Amino acid sequence: MPTVIVDGKDIEIGAEERLNCIEAARRAGAEIPHYCWHPGLSVVASCRMCLIETGARDAATGKISMVPKLVPACQTPAKDGTVIITASALVKESRARVEEALLIDHPIDCPICDKAGECLLQDYHFEHGQAERRADLHPFTSRRRDVGPTVTLFVDRCVMCTRCVRFAREVSGTSELMVINRGAKEEIDVFPGYPLDNKLSGNVVDLCPVGALGDKDFLYQQRVWFLKSEPNVCGGCASGCSITTEHNQDSVYRLKPRENPHVNKWWICDEGRYGWHHLHDQTRLLAAAHRTPASASQAAVGFQAVEWADVVTGLRRDLKVAKRLAVAVSPLLTVEEAWMLCAVARSIDPQAYLAVGFIPRSESDETYPGGFTIRAEKCPNRLGVESVIALFDPAVHHWEDLLEHVQAGGASAAWITAAYPTSASDKPWIDEETAAVFAGLECLVVQDFFESPLTKHAVWRLPAAGFAERAGTWVNAAHRAQTFQQAIRPPAGVWPEGRLLWNMLGRRGLYDPVAVRQQIAESSATFAALAGVLPATGVDLRLHQLATP
């Protein structure tokens, strides 16, 4: 194994790994400050913050010969015998100079800057800078430049790391951003008439190490030190990007990508990034409701709010009476919820017809030059739900099959879990004509996020939870299962599906997705990999199946 010597400490790295000195030093617990380097972008070595001293240790004699100059750690590969010195007097002096230089033209408007609190310029200045300002003071300027529909640029705060420019060239491949002017007058800009409007544009805000690029959606909404963050998974499409939900007092403020080399690397798309507003939409369903008398023909009769305890008993009773049950398992439900739903349905009607719910789709997958893919399938867990249904019924039915089944009179009751975040102002996920298929049923249970043509026919109209309000496991289009915790509590009056089903199964205490997951893993080969604690980046279900015959 190659050995790298970081500040006198021997660190072994993998033989096949191609690490630079920043990454190698990180293994040893030494942080080398850097602005322009990012693992997902090309190396430019221009910020000069990561300058370190390096050398090589002779394998035979153990003699160390140092390079007589500072080298950028980002550009220097860590090989067997590489010596890295991260905090010599020369290195510290060089860092202090770079920090001082970066602040000469910086407005230092931290009190009104959104980045304050998570700004590398602040952090590094505190750690590596010098206390005294020696450059001339200049009038405070904070020019704001609109570079696109999602991003605004605070020109004076920029440290010219060019991460955003490289992102637009290398990852999104759209090249909207560029450097204009020269020397200290350099600025980031777009060409007139060609704004930064690609579907990955929000990532440049995450990439920006300082407060130069601001997210219009998040700007001035919340100070970052108030935010709590929860590792989560994006439900926007079948890619299942790893994200962090940042929230405060049960309000989501922003979503950020979470590094996952198997799924999304460091990026998420704007659709996912801004796809949380439905959680706090005023028009979402906020209470369980029942229509009395339970007759679908009397559509004019309004809904009446019911207690959840009554839902738990009433639902089972009504469905039992109606007998032949058909269930649509929404591809937005977690594996645990889907499994419990199937279990509940089969306990009510042992012959219950189980089908994967409606799968929203766009036209086609979109893959970007950097390898990032936005899937056409706009739901996070189709594969998971299909695998769960397969545990109960070898023939996995889909939404279209379910419609035919109901039309053919195969069912007298239906339980449609939906939870689609298409608000009333958008085009609803189901049209009137399709919804009418369910009109004649004895009992229709609809669990949805917003009112839709289908909820009009419902006897039980139950609110659904949003993605950040769930806990459980989703299986993405590449068969990777990722678990996540509940980030925020749903609004009062909303029970996440899992809680309702847990109670309907008659299990005690609070809904515990971990217990359900353990039970699924133990009882099925498909989900065997879900046993125990999963890594934050998830597991590939197929790989595990191959490994365990």
Instruction: Considering the complex, state which of residue 115 and residue 169 has its C-beta at the smaller distance from another protein.
Output: 169
**136 counts as binding another protein under rule CB under 8 A:** yes
Cα–Cα dist 341/490, whole Å? 20
Cα–Cα dist 341/13, whole Å? 46
Stretch that binds another protein, among 46-54, 114-122, 279-287, 305-313 (CB under 8 A): 46-54
**66 counts as binding another protein under rule CB under 8 A:** no
Instruction: Considering the complex, state which of residue 112 and residue 179 has its C-beta at the smaller distance from another protein.
Output: 179
Instruction: Considering the complex, state which of residue 182 and residue 508 has its C-beta at the smaller distance from another protein.
Output: 182
Stretch that binds another protein, among 6-14, 93-101, 283-291, 429-437 (CB under 8 A): 93-101
H-type helices in 250-334, by residue range?
A: 270-273, 308-322
Binding test (CB under 8 A) with another protein, winner from 68, 192, 302, 549: 68
Cα–Cα dist 463/540, whole Å? 32
Instruction: Considering the complex, state which of residue 139 and residue 532 has its C-beta at the smaller distance from another protein.
Output: 139
Binding test (CB under 8 A) with another protein, winner from 15, 60, 181, 533: 181
- Cis omega (within 30 of 0) for bond into 293: yes
Instruction: Considering the complex, state which of residue 182 and residue 427 has its C-beta at the smaller distance from another protein.
Output: 182
Residue 137's alpha-carbon distances to 47, 100, 164, 274, 365, in angstroms, are 23, 13, 28, 39, 52
Binding test (CB under 8 A) with another protein, winner from 28, 90, 376, 403: 90
Q: Residue 307 CA to chain centroid, in angstroms? A: 33
**414 counts as binding another protein under rule CB under 8 A:** no
Could you tell me if residue 209 is left (phi over 0), alpha (psi between -120 and 50 degrees) or otherwise beta?
alpha
| Residues between 442 and 501 that touch another protein (CB under 8 A) | none
At 376, the amino acid letter reads: A
CB of 42 to another protein, least distance (A): 10
**73 counts as binding another protein under rule CB under 8 A:** no
Q: Which residues contact 114 (CB under 8 A, 6 or more apart)?
A: 211, 214, 215, 218, 219, 220, 224
**72 counts as binding another protein under rule CB under 8 A:** yes
**56 counts as binding another protein under rule CB under 8 A:** no
**183 counts as binding another protein under rule CB under 8 A:** yes
Q: Residue 262: how many CB atoms within 10 A of its CB?
A: 15
Binding test (CB under 8 A) with another protein, winner from 47, 190, 325, 352: 47
Binding test (CB under 8 A) with another protein, winner from 3, 75, 518, 524: 75
Residue 424's alpha-carbon distances to 279, 328, 429, 493, in angstroms, are 13, 21, 10, 20
CB of 340 to another protein, least distance (A): 56
CB of 4 to another protein, least distance (A): 19
**182 counts as binding another protein under rule CB under 8 A:** yes
Binding test (CB under 8 A) with another protein, winner from 28, 44, 376, 403: 44
**352 counts as binding another protein under rule CB under 8 A:** no
**168 counts as binding another protein under rule CB under 8 A:** no
CB of 121 to another protein, least distance (A): 12
The burial of 220, by beta-carbon neighbours within 10 Å (0-12 exposed, 13-18 middle, 19 or more buried), is given as exposed
- What the block records as the tokens of 490 is 């749903």
Question: Buried b vs exposed e over 14-38: b needs ≥16 C-beta within 10 Å?
Answer: eeeeebbbbbbbebbebebbbbbbb
Cα–Cα dist 459/469, whole Å? 25
CB of 402 to another protein, least distance (A): 57
Instruction: Considering the complex, state which of residue 134 and residue 508 has its C-beta at the smaller distance from another protein.
Output: 134
Q: How many chain residues interact with another protein (CB under 8 A)?
A: 38
Stretch that binds another protein, among 131-139, 208-216, 382-390, 454-462 (CB under 8 A): 131-139
CB of 176 to another protein, least distance (A): 16
Instruction: Determine contact, residues 426/400, Cβ cutoff 8 Å.
Output: no
- What the block records as the tokens of 45 is 């070595």
Q: Which residues contact 327 (CB under 8 A, 6 or more apart)?
A: 341, 342, 345, 352, 353, 354, 355, 414, 415, 416, 417
CB of 161 to another protein, least distance (A): 9
Binding test (CB under 8 A) with another protein, winner from 48, 258, 291, 324: 48
**Which of 161, 159, 13 is CA-nearest to residue 77?**
13
Question: Where do contacts with another protein occur on this chain (CB under 8 A)?
Answer: 43-49, 51, 68-72, 75, 90, 94, 97-98, 101-102, 104-105, 133-139, 159-160, 179, 181-186
